[in-house]
Amino acid sequence: QVVGGKVKKPGKRGRKPAKIDLKAKLERSRQSARECRARKKLRYQYLEELVSSRERAICALREELEMYKQWCVAMDQGKIPSEIKALLTGEEQGKAQQNSTKLAKAGKTEANSSSP
C-alpha cells in the first residue's frame, strides 16, 4: 500500500503490548481493590459521623424550639418565665456595667487630653 508517498505495511497499529507477568498484574489488581475498599469504608464512616452530628444538632434545636414555645404560651397567659426575667435583669446589669466602664474610660481620656 502506498499512502502519501510512503509504503505502509499491513498489520496492527500502535504499540505492541508489553509482556506483563500475569501474577504481578493480578497482585496489582488485588492491591487496588483493597485500597478501594479501604477508601470506601473511610468515606462511609465519615458520612455516618456527619449524619449523627447533624441529628444531634437537630434534636438540640427541637428542644430549644419547644422551650421557646412554652415561654410563649406562658407569656400569653400573662406569666413571665423566670428564665426571661433572668435574661432581662442580666441584660440590664450588663448595660449598667458597660455604661459605667464607658464613663470611666471617657473620664480617663478627658483627663489625659486636658493635661499636656
Residue 21, pLDDT score: 83
Q: 62 falls in which pLDDT band (50, 70, 90)?
A: very high
Report yes or no on 10 lying in a domain. Answer: no
- Answer whether residue 65 is part of any domain: yes
pLDDT > 80? residue 72: yes
Cα(first)–Cα(last) distance of the chain, in Å? 104
The whole domain housing 53 covers 22-87
Domain count, the chain: 1
Q: Residue 4: pLDDT above 90?
A: no
Cα 80 from Cα 86, distance rounded (Å): 10
What is the percent of the chain with per-residue pLDDT over 90, rounded to a whole number?
45
Is residue 94 predicted with pLDDT exceeding 60? Answer: yes
Instruction: Please say whether the beta carbons of 32 and 38 come within 8 A.
Output: no
What pLDDT, on a 0 to 100 scale, did the predictor assign at position 116?
A: 45
